[in-house]
Amino acid sequence: MYKEFYHLKENPFNITADPDFYFSSQQHKEAITHLIYGIEQRKGIIAITGEIGTGKTTLCRTVLSQLDETVRTALILNPSFSDLQLLRLILEDLGIETNARTKYEMVDALNSFLLEEASQGNNVVLIIDEAQNLKVNQLEQVRLLSNLETEKEKLLQIVLVGQPELVDKLKLNELRQLNQRIAVRFHIGSLTREEIKEYIRHRLKVAQDSEFTRYAVHFTEEAVEAIFNISKGTPRMVNILCDRALLAGYAAETFTIDENIIHKCSREVGQK
């Protein structure tokens, strides 16, 4: 609705996990460094955590886009399945064709695939998003998959991505073996005030119509301060506020988004 008014080719503040809009904050840079290190060095199990809306899924998709052709990947976005269904999804996402029906047969098919990939110098990565939703028996299954290895290296790199509840779950006594095997850990924090300012500029720049060299919309310093205070530095809430603010600016036929618009939008989205 407001795209033409602000000379935008697409919505800059969608809450979908779009790698094209990835913003490299200090926290996200460090998270990617940890991920790439864990994957390339074949560390086995990697855990990335962060509060709701901190950009974990976008980060995962960004990392996947940066890996070269020697890395085969599987991304499980919703792990709310049985052990058997989870294994089947992993096989399907890796492109493994098999008639396996039992858990043993599926793990055997996966192991054969991993050995073949390793013989060609390839690496295999499994990313499980929303991993805090995995049941204890599913997490134990993850640990067993991490046992697939040669004498020299891990055949499967497993990335567990989830909310802070994942950390608490991993501390359960029955998961202590899995917890001990996590070789790389990183927790994504919130954006700073200055990062939010750059974040907004970055997303507007990506969404801007290439025919226009200057931004048609401006967020004032006071507006940025208000967004920071209301969002607590959470990218998803920044997106929600900014999207609503652009709509309000369009309705008011203004190219300047000030703190009054932000506070009004905050009340509309239930943040005040």
Other C-beta atoms lying within 10 Å of the C-beta of residue 193? 13
Domain boundaries, the chain: 26-188, 191-268
- pLDDT of res. 272: 58
Mark 53-80 as b/e (b = at least 16 C-beta within 10 Å).
Answer: bbbbbbbbbbbbeebeeebbbbbbeebe
- Contacts for 50 with CB less than 8 Å, ≥ 6 apart: 56, 163, 164, 187, 188, 189
Give mean pLDDT in consecutive 10-residue pieces for the chain, a chain of 272 residues.
89 88 91 93 94 89 89 86 86 91 92 94 94 91 89 92 95 94 94 96 89 79 97 94 95 95 90 62
What's the confidence (pLDDT) of residue 185? Answer: 96
- Residue reference for tokens 């793990």: 107
φ, ψ of residue 197 to 5 degrees: the values are -60, -45
Whole-angstrom distance, CA of residue 151 vs CA of residue 252:
66
> Which pLDDT value is given to residue 86?
87
Q: What pLDDT score does 213 carry?
A: 59
Structure confidence at residue 20 (pLDDT): 87
> Which CATH number applies to 26-188: 3.40.50.300, 3.40.50.410, 3.30.470.20, 3.30.70.360?
3.40.50.300
44 residue type, one letter:
G
What pLDDT shows up at residue 79? Answer: 74
At 202, give phi and psi (nearest 5°): -60, -45
Q: Which CATH code is given to the segment(s) 191-268?
A: 1.10.8.60
Cα–Cα distance, 42 to 50 (Å, whole number): 23
Write down the pTM of the prediction: 0.88
In what helix (H) or strand (E) does residue 27 lie, and over which residues does it extend? helix 26-40
pLDDT of residue 224: 97
